[in-house]
Amino acid sequence: MKMLFKQRLFSWFDSYDIYGEDGQVLYTVKGQLSWGHCFKIYDSFGNCLGTVKQRILTLLPKFEIYMNDAYVGCISREFTFFRPRYNIDYNGWQVEGDFLEWDYNIMSASGNTVASVSKEIWNWTDTYSINVYNPADALSALMLVLAIDAEKCSRKD
């Protein structure tokens, strides 16, 4: 399953549309007014499916992930000098990527690729292509990509 993650050009808060291979909107992500980043993910019918919320007052950025208002885990940046690394405490996933963080893979605990993410650099706004190998993992992978993108924005990359 391929998704195109595209930031809206004009919005007060970070807002994104996530398109499927057929060009239809699968998810809409709306930024919320809060301390730190907070994103609500909606399906095409307007139902809230999940939230990615930055925990403030932490040494390194940390994002909590909720599905249907139930806490499922968090992602936090680990202290490193060169290659960014993340500690993910849900689904047993880990992230492996390049130095610029534009292309990375989400890996399962067993070493299988859950999703591949690549940034399309010739666009006016942040645009990512996300290949999810099991459609059941699409929402979880999207929430992880949102958290990583928000963490990069926190660093002003």
The CATH number of 2-154 is 2.40.160.200
**28-70: per-residue pLDDT in tens?**
998 876 667 889 999 999 999 999 998 877 667 789 999 998 9
Give me the sign of the Cα torsion angle 10, 15, 16, 17.
negative
**89-134: per-residue pLDDT in tens?**
888 898 887 746 678 899 998 999 999 998 877 666 677 899 999 9
Using CA atoms, how far residue 3 sits from 20, 84, 138, 148, in Å, is 5, 24, 8, 16
CA distance linking residue 74 with residue 113, whole number of Å: 20
Extract the tokens encoding 116: 């591949």
pLDDT band at 27 (very low <50, low <70, confident <90, very high): very high
Q: What is the pLDDT of residue 140?
A: 93
Q: Where are the domains of the chain?
A: 2-154
Give me the sign of the Cα torsion angle 82, 15, 126, 137.
positive
Using CA atoms, how far residue 130 sits from 10, 39, 66, 100, 119, in Å, is 23, 18, 20, 17, 9
